[in-house]
Structure 1
Amino acid sequence: MSTPRSGWFRSRRFAVAAGLTAALAALVATLLTMPLNASLASADGSQITGLAGKCVDVAEANNANGTPVQLYDCNGTPAQQWTIGTDGTIRALGKCLDVVDFGTGDGSAVQLWDCAGSANQQWVVSSANDIVNPAANKCLDVRDNNTANSTRLQIWTCAGTANQKWTAPAAGGGGNGGTGGGNGGGTPSGFVVSEDQFNQMFPGRNPFYTYSGLTTALAAYPGFATTGSDTVKRQEAAAFLANVSHETGGLVHVVEQNTANYPSYCDTSQSYGCPAGNDKYYGRGVVQLSWNFNYKAAGDALGIDLLHNPDLVQNDASIAWATGLWYWNSQSGPGTMTPHDAMVNSAGFGQTIRSINGALECDGHNPAQVQNRVDSYQHFAQILGVDPGANVAC
């Protein structure tokens, strides 16, 4: 394996979309401090209840395409009988809960529509009672916190608020308990990669990089490795871990090895400066997070003050993993899409390389580095028993 570079972020700055910072911070805080009513069991295994104890309801029990989905007094009618499928759909009256016009923005309404297996009909029920549309990375939400009957439901940036909390039947309909991410992976964590498979992938890893640290970090991004078919879920997990392996020399390096570079990553043009010290923003963690502006962006998104406490990335395994998931799910780097989108939309593993380090590796710039990533991906896909798919190189 080639000597890892000092990180994905060494010479690139990434903007975090307005509003994402506070919302994801709230989501992470909620996931880490679950409310007392966090059980996903519903009274009859079919109603989905939320704000003010009211139910998710199909307006007028009409199963026509485009019928609004709303909040309404629970009444036990078929308009309130929902099945959470193992395929990621939520169904009532023979049709699917659907985001209108494939919307991904805050305020996009939900409706009933013919089931098509499309991204706007995919949902993940998290262990913290969020119902998330991974394509938009947004939560099912009661508009304006309004408890009145017939209040329209929508998707909104996940904030951990009461109007985004739901009790729901388990996947497959009926029974108690949530899906823990809904991926059907069969492991205690719900992740498609078991601990034994993880250990097989990283036989010489640094003990700092724990499997439990990874599975804890997954809560911040419930759409990761839970979106699409079982094949897609496993391909995404293999792709993420292969890129992580390349960046860290097989999960060996926790911090950047060239200490002479440490004072180089303070961008003094930023208004917030480098409060932890000019030499404290060197590469750390599974993506070797570097530069003060990247510590701030990742920390803001995760609800952790990494700008003032950058050492957390090398001292807390779950935070080290979470910074990698932050990049994977929300940043496109020199590419045209996030690595998450590349995998769930079948663009191929090669596009994840482009989004991570395409300017330096793709299009013939460094074929040996590209091949190293591809080799790891194909090996990990084999461990997970999944075909790596097409377009594996860039």
Structure 2
Amino acid sequence: MAHPSLLPSSSSLLFSFSLLLFFSLTCNVEARDTPKHDCNPISYIVTEKLYNNSIFLHKDDAACPAKGFYSYSSFIEATKHFPEFGNTGDLITRKREIAAFLAQISHETTGGWATAPDGPYAWGLCFKEEVNPQSDYCDSTNTQWPCYPGKTYHGRGPIQISWNFNYGPAGQALGFDGLKNPEVVANNSVIAFKTALWFWMTEQKPKPSCHDVMVGRYHPTAADIAANRTAGFGLVTNIINGGLECGIPDNAQSNDRIGYYKKYAQIFGVDVGPNLDCANQQHY
């Protein structure tokens, strides 16, 4: 059962409906007068100013290898292909999901350190490719998504998508050849953001989607309950990298994700919700 705090009340449902109606009416009126108006509801929560000056303060610093890559326009364009992202449930739920997504991609691409200027959580989206990959991330036993000769499937993009069994289906869903041309994820910023959102929105059994967890659609199985996999930001971490971070008290990587999430939740004016870490969860 979803945690009660993640379930919208009748009043919040009414508010969400009114908000969406406002978006629709505003877009219809303004689009008629200014055809280039961006009517994506995400842009009402994550403005360009907030994105560049508060959330990703140092992403375009000279010290960041991804300088100039992760533009606001690319992020907004990518979200248009996933209309339920950040647009499901009441406003608090929507903001929490966006904060959680931005926190996870910030950790995956962080250039921050403990004494970094503006703090360790001001350096998300600093990298677009994994540094010093330990292998080519080719699972040769996966015959459904066979590796292409000479290609490496190391982490790329905001969520550092990796392994052939992720590049293949992501490419199929998004319209590029992920097995033959994985490099596009580090060369095309819109596609890069799309791969991160694809991973976020897509259920990969036995794992639920990160989206379903954050919007209250997660329904734990008996195995989940036995493994203490309860809904919250910690479960999202479990989905993304549980094998290395979950079931470990005070894990540094998990703590970094939480630090980003707390900062972004504060920026959006929402609480972080329950079950922040996965220290007591078994990984999938």
Counterpart in the other structure of 1:256: 130
| Deviation (angstroms), 1:317 | 0.5
Counterpart in the other structure of 1:60: none
3-state SS, counterpart of residue 265 of structure 1: coil
Q: 2:168 aligns with which of 296, 300, 303?
A: 296
Contact 1:255 1:284 in 2 (8 A): yes
| Deviation (angstroms), 1:368 | 1.9
Residues 303 and 385 (structure 1), Cα distance of their counterparts in 2 relative to 1, 3 Å cut: same
Partner letter of residue 237 of structure 1? I
Contact 1:289 1:323 in 2 (8 A): yes
Contact 2:41 2:87 in 1 (8 A): no
Contact 2:151 2:180 in 1 (8 A): no
Contact 2:78 2:194 in 1 (8 A): yes
Residues 363 and 312 (structure 1), Cα distance of their counterparts in 2 relative to 1, 3 Å cut: same
Residues 271 and 297 (structure 1), Cα distance of their counterparts in 2 relative to 1, 3 Å cut: closer
Counterpart in the other structure of 2:56: 202
Partner letter of residue 180 of structure 2? H
Counterpart in the other structure of 1:374: 258
Structure number with larger C-alpha Rg: 1
3-state SS, counterpart of residue 208 of structure 2: coil
The answer on 1:235 being equivalent to 2:96 is yes
Contact 1:286 1:324 in 2 (8 A): yes
The answer on 1:87 being equivalent to 2:16 is yes
Counterpart in the other structure of 2:212: 341
- Once residues 173 and 194 of structure 1 are traced to their aligned partners in structure 2, the CA distance between those partners, rounded to angstroms, is 18
Counterpart in the other structure of 1:274: 147
- Once residues 208 and 300 of structure 1 are traced to their aligned partners in structure 2, the CA distance between those partners, rounded to angstroms, is 23
Contact 1:239 1:349 in 2 (8 A): yes
Residues 211 and 244 (structure 1), Cα distance of their counterparts in 2 relative to 1, 3 Å cut: same
- Once residues 304 and 171 of structure 1 are traced to their aligned partners in structure 2, the CA distance between those partners, rounded to angstroms, is 35
- What are the within-5 Å matches in structure 2 for residues 30-69 of structure 1? none
| Identity between Structure 1 and Structure 2 (%) | 39
Residues 196 and 348 (structure 1), Cα distance of their counterparts in 2 relative to 1, 3 Å cut: same
TM-score (norm 1): 0.51
Residues 271 and 301 (structure 1), Cα distance of their counterparts in 2 relative to 1, 3 Å cut: closer
Contact 2:137 2:162 in 1 (8 A): yes
Partner letter of residue 355 of structure 1? I
Residues 322 and 267 (structure 1), Cα distance of their counterparts in 2 relative to 1, 3 Å cut: same
- Once residues 40 and 26 of structure 2 are traced to their aligned partners in structure 1, the CA distance between those partners, rounded to angstroms, is 19
- Once residues 193 and 255 of structure 2 are traced to their aligned partners in structure 1, the CA distance between those partners, rounded to angstroms, is 24
Q: 1:318 aligns with which of 190, 196, 215?
A: 190
How many positions carry a matched residue from both structures?
Answer: 222
- What are the within-5 Å matches in structure 2 for residues 160-175 of structure 1? 171=22
- Once residues 92 and 261 of structure 2 are traced to their aligned partners in structure 1, the CA distance between those partners, rounded to angstroms, is 14
- Once residues 317 and 358 of structure 1 are traced to their aligned partners in structure 2, the CA distance between those partners, rounded to angstroms, is 27
Contact 1:179 1:190 in 2 (8 A): no
- Once residues 204 and 144 of structure 2 are traced to their aligned partners in structure 1, the CA distance between those partners, rounded to angstroms, is 24
Counterpart in the other structure of 2:41: 190
Counterpart in the other structure of 2:223: none
Deviates more, 1:226-235 or 1:298-307: 298-307
| Deviation (angstroms), 1:342 | 1.1
- Once residues 171 and 57 of structure 2 are traced to their aligned partners in structure 1, the CA distance between those partners, rounded to angstroms, is 30
Counterpart in the other structure of 2:271: 387
Contact 2:138 2:163 in 1 (8 A): yes
Residues 207 and 87 (structure 1), Cα distance of their counterparts in 2 relative to 1, 3 Å cut: same
Give the number of the structure whose residues are more often strand, by fraction: 1
- Give per-residue Cα distances to partners, 1:149-196, cap 9 Å, x unaligned: xxxxxxxxxxxxxxxxxxxxx65886872999xxxxxx8642121112
Contact 2:15 2:90 in 1 (8 A): no
Give the number of the structure whose residues are more often helix, by fraction: 2
Partner letter of residue 371 of structure 1? N
- Once residues 172 and 183 of structure 2 are traced to their aligned partners in structure 1, the CA distance between those partners, rounded to angstroms, is 15
| Deviation (angstroms), 1:302 | 1.5
The answer on 1:356 being equivalent to 2:240 is yes
Residues 382 and 267 (structure 1), Cα distance of their counterparts in 2 relative to 1, 3 Å cut: same
Contact 1:266 1:278 in 2 (8 A): no
Contact 2:103 2:257 in 1 (8 A): yes
Contact 1:286 1:320 in 2 (8 A): yes
| Deviation (angstroms), 1:254 | 0.7
Partner letter of residue 373 of structure 1? R
Counterpart in the other structure of 1:305: 177
